[in-house]
């Protein structure tokens, strides 16, 4: 009886089929990672545009606040100077302007970087270390105030006019612990410092950022060299923290802690803001 024919190929004698040229005729798709834009993705002109927009927004909102305030009985006979130095008018105007500026910063950073805002601007929340940066700001305020005793600080400063009564002081404190440090840190340490560092280097970036920070507060301090020098040192500390931690959130928390210490010290020294004449001259 004959055996059935072998219908399976012998693996030892088989060779892989040759691939025809047609197999390679189709297009070959290469998967390449998206190109990362250099940091920062915004330019110096973008920073200037934000600054100009901020000044214009504050001016427009201030004029609107003055017009609205004039319609209230307590301001009907007040002079322009009195209204312009009223905490309610000033804080009201800036509270209206700052959110618009923050929105513009958000839109600009997102449009330039095509990344999430926090990542693009290096917000980088410090997590469990957040209280440490607030405490660092408090310590910084205590150190600066201690050293300021050896400097010729004027007895009264232009910003003292905003602290007329307890309600004004509380408004200033609320603004100084929320919107003010947020916008200042996003602008100076978030937008300005990276541009200066890219163009001029690390040391120049740190120093010039602190100088700009001091300059923007100059009018409130009457451009007296001693308090301006103090705020320059504070700006240096904030910028160094931002550099060392690679986090704008860290400098923001330190800024909040610094302001908290100042307002708390004023609260204690003025009997809970009821006797501000003791400390504001």
Between the CA of residue 234 and those of 45, 100, 139, what are the distances in Å? Answer: 26, 27, 11
Taking the mean position of all CA atoms in its chain, how far away is CA 225?
A: 25
Average pLDDT over the chain reads: 89
Does residue 10 form part of some domain?
A: no
pLDDT interval class at 4 (50, 70, 90): low
pLDDT exceeding 90 applies to what percent of the chain?
Answer: 76
Assess whether pLDDT exceeds 70 at residue 237.
yes
Q: What is the average per-residue pLDDT within 206-212?
A: 98
* pLDDT tens digits along 121-147: 999 999 999 999 999 999 999 999 999
Residue 217 scores a pLDDT above 50: yes
User: Is 16 part of a structural domain of the chain?
Assistant: no
pLDDT at residue number 18: 55
Average of pLDDT values for 15-31? 55
Whether the pLDDT of residue 220 is over 90: the answer is yes
Whether 186 is in a domain gets the answer yes
Model confidence band, residue 81 (pLDDT cutoffs 50, 70, 90): confident
- Asked if residue 189 belongs to a domain, the reply is yes
In a domain, 83, yes or no: yes
Domain that holds residue 82: 44-280
What mean pLDDT comes out for the span 205-227?
96
pLDDT at 155: 87
1 pLDDT more than 60? no
- DSSP state at residue 160: G
**pLDDT grade, residue 8 (50/70/90)?**
very low
Q: pLDDT (tens digit, 9 = 90+) per residue, 67-79?
A: 999 888 888 888 8
Long-range contacts at 202-211 (CB < 8 A, ≥ 24 apart): 202/243, 205/239, 206/236, 206/239, 206/240, 206/243, 207/236, 209/235, 209/239, 210/235, 210/236, 210/238, 210/239, 211/235
CB 244: neighbour CB atoms within 10 A?
A: 10
Query: Mind giving me the DSSP string for 178-247?
Result: THHHHHHIIIIIIIIHHHHHHHH-HHHHHHHHHHHHHHHTTGGGTT-HHHHHHHHHHHHHHHHHHHHHT-
Tell whether 8 is covered by a domain: no
**What's the number of domains the chain is made of?**
1
| 248/242 Cα distance (integer angstroms) | 6
Does residue 176 surpass a pLDDT of 70? yes
- Whether the per-residue pLDDT at 177 is higher than 80: the answer is yes
Is 19 among the domain residues? no
Confidence of residue 30 (pLDDT cuts 50, 70, 90): low
Q: What's CA 25's distance to the chain center, in Å? A: 55
Q: H/E element holding 251?
A: helix 248-269
In the numeric block, which tokens belong to residue 263? Answer: 């307002």
Q: Among 23-27, 44-48, 93-97, where is mean pLDDT lowest?
A: 23-27
Asked if pLDDT for residue 196 goes beyond 60, the answer is: yes
**Looking at the domain assignment, is residue 14 inside a domain?**
no
Kindly tell me if the per-residue pLDDT of 241 is higher than 80. yes
* Residue 230 half-sphere exposure toward CB, CA atoms < 13 A: 21
Give the up-direction half-sphere exposure of residue 133: CA atoms within 13 A in the CB hemisphere: 24
CA-wise closest residue to 239 among 202, 198, 280: 202
């Amino acid at each position: 009886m004959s055996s059935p024919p072998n219908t399976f190929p012998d693996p030892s004698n088989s060779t892989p089929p040759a691939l025809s040229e047609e197999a390679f005729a189709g297009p070959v798709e290469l998967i390449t990672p998206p190109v990362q834009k250099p940091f920062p993705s915004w330019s110096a002109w973008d920073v200037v545009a934000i600054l100009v927009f901020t000044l214009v927004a504050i001016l427009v909102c201030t004029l609107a606040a003055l017009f609205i305030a004039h319609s209230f009985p307590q301001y009907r006979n007040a002079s322009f100077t009195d209204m312009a130095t009223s905490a309610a008018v000033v804080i009201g105007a800036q509270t209206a302007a700052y959110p618009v500026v923050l929105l513009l910063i958000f839109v600009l950073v997102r449009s330039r970087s095509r990344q999430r805002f926090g990542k693009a601007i290096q917000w980088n929340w410090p997590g469990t270390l957040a209280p440490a940066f607030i405490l660092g700001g408090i310590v910084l305020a205590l150190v600066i105030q201690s050293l300021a005793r050896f400097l010729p600080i004027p007895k009264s400063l232009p910003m003292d006019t905003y602290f007329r009564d307890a309600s004004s002081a509380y408004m200033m404190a609320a603004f100084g612990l929320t919107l003010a440090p947020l916008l200042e840190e996003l602008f100076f340490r978030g937008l300005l410092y990276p541009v200066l560092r890219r163009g001029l280097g690390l040391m120049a970036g740190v120093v010039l950022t602190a100088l700009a920070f001091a300059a923007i507060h100059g009018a409130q301090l009457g451009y007296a060299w001693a308090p301006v020098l103090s705020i320059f040192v504070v700006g240096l500390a904030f910028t160094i923290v931002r550099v060392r931690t690679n986090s704008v959130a860290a400098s923001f928390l330190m800024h909040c802690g610094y302001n908290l210490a100042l307002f708390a010290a004023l609260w204690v020294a003025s009997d809970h803001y009821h006797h501000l004449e003791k400390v504001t001259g």
